[in-house]
Amino acid sequence: MARSTSYFLSRVNKGGILTTEGIRQAILQAEEIEYRESAWTIIEAEAGTVSHARRRTSYIVATIVKYDPFATVEVVDARQRKVLLQREPNLQRAACRFVYFPSFEIMGHQRIWNQISPSGFRNRMRDLVTAFHNDFFVECNLKAIADHQLFIKRLAGLEKVNGIKTSVRPPNPLFSPFWKSLKDYLRKRKLKLLKLDEVAKGGQEIETSLLEILKRIESNNLSDEKPPDIGDAAVLMAADGYGTASISGQRKNQRVVIRTSQNEMQVKLAVEISNRGLAKAIFSEVMHMEQVRRLRH
């Protein structure tokens, strides 16, 4: 049986003067950065196009690498019958492949256990993009895209919701009928960031329709498209990769916190999948997600 690995989906949030082309160039001509005791860069970038259900889009598949500029390794000197230390500059410690879809501002990135976690990838990619532009009026943040089914399962386990915290940025150019009112609100007030912190009165619970809305989205039961309340809309926007959200509540007299960043969409693929195969598989998931969630550009 072929070995498999997991790829996680993240949305790229741009700010300042950063453009999609600026992200492409940061991948194709990557800088070298240092983080703690390791160096990081991007190698083996390959651009192409892929199609699914008559929709064609461009992609870049590349590898982000973590390496040690000053590594030493143990070598055996058989004549002296000793183990000696030998310098091995730029020794690779870990590498993970990823695919970037510029038209969707989505990346699918591999998890490397104990070396490159999904959140670690997002942080280093942010650093690499901003370093390429010399940190000059550019903002780049990658946010996890939540798995609705997993989110529903965990929300359904709550007996009541006591608090909802969200932090969202205006999406561009994406549109969803489930958070259109919030998107319009952000643009009307010229906001780059909106933070909400809803806390129920003592002993009470927040009146939220979030679970019902998520179930309707996933079951394609969209007859009632009444705009959700602002708190619920913010969670839905965060779940689509435009921020973060956490829902706190009670389950069996214990406090439980459910976060969008801990319910990430992931796809299992063969370790040896080709670059084009990787792009095709992830693009298929992206198109399915956009169809179910009615996301539009």
Could you write out the DSSP letters of every residue in 157-178? T-SEEEEEEEEE---SS-B-TT
Query: Looking at the domain assignment, is residue 38 inside a domain?
Result: yes
> Do 256 and 129 sit in the same domain of this protein?
no
> Do 12 and 133 sit in the same domain of this protein?
yes
Query: Looking at the domain assignment, is residue 165 inside a domain?
Result: yes
Query: Looking at the domain assignment, is residue 98 inside a domain?
Result: yes
**What is the rounded distance in angstroms from the CA atom of residue 205 to the CA atom of residue 248?**
10
Confidence label for 225 from pLDDT (cuts 50, 70 and 90):
low
Q: Domain limits at 230? A: 148-262
Question: Is the pTM of the predicted complex or chain greater than 0.95?
Answer: no
> Do 30 and 161 sit in the same domain of this protein?
no
Q: What does residue 15 show for φ and ψ, rounded to 5 degrees?
A: -150, 170
- Cβ atoms of 168 and 234 within 8 Å: the answer is yes
Task: Identify the H or E element spanning 13.
Answer: strand 4-16
> Do 32 and 123 sit in the same domain of this protein?
yes
Query: Looking at the domain assignment, is residue 279 inside a domain?
Result: no
Query: Looking at the domain assignment, is residue 186 inside a domain?
Result: yes
Query: Looking at the domain assignment, is residue 173 inside a domain?
Result: yes
Query: Looking at the domain assignment, is residue 83 inside a domain?
Result: no
**Can you give the pLDDT at residue 1?**
59
> Do 241 and 191 sit in the same domain of this protein?
yes
**What is the rounded distance in angstroms from the CA atom of residue 265 to the CA atom of residue 272?**
21
**Can you give the pLDDT at residue 203?**
79
> Do 229 and 214 sit in the same domain of this protein?
yes
> Do 126 and 199 sit in the same domain of this protein?
no
Question: How many domains in the chain?
Answer: 2
List, in sequence order, every residue forming a beta bridge with 116; answer none if it has no partner.
112
Query: Looking at the domain assignment, is residue 295 inside a domain?
Result: no
Confidence label for 160 from pLDDT (cuts 50, 70 and 90):
very high
> Do 100 and 160 sit in the same domain of this protein?
no
> Do 61 and 181 sit in the same domain of this protein?
no
> Do 132 and 37 sit in the same domain of this protein?
yes
Confidence label for 99 from pLDDT (cuts 50, 70 and 90):
very high
In the structure encoding, which two tokens stand for residue 210, read together? Answer: 């979030």
**What is the rounded distance in angstroms from the CA atom of residue 34 to the CA atom of residue 32?**
7
**What is the rounded distance in angstroms from the CA atom of residue 122 to the CA atom of residue 133?**
17
User: What confidence tens digit (pLDDT) does each residue in 22-45 have?
Assistant: 999 999 999 999 999 999 999 999
Confidence label for 221 from pLDDT (cuts 50, 70 and 90):
confident
Q: Which residue pairs from 214-217 have beta carbons closer than 8 angstroms and sit at least 24 positions apart in sequence? A: 214/148, 214/151, 214/152, 214/155, 215/152, 217/148, 217/178, 217/292, 217/293, 217/294
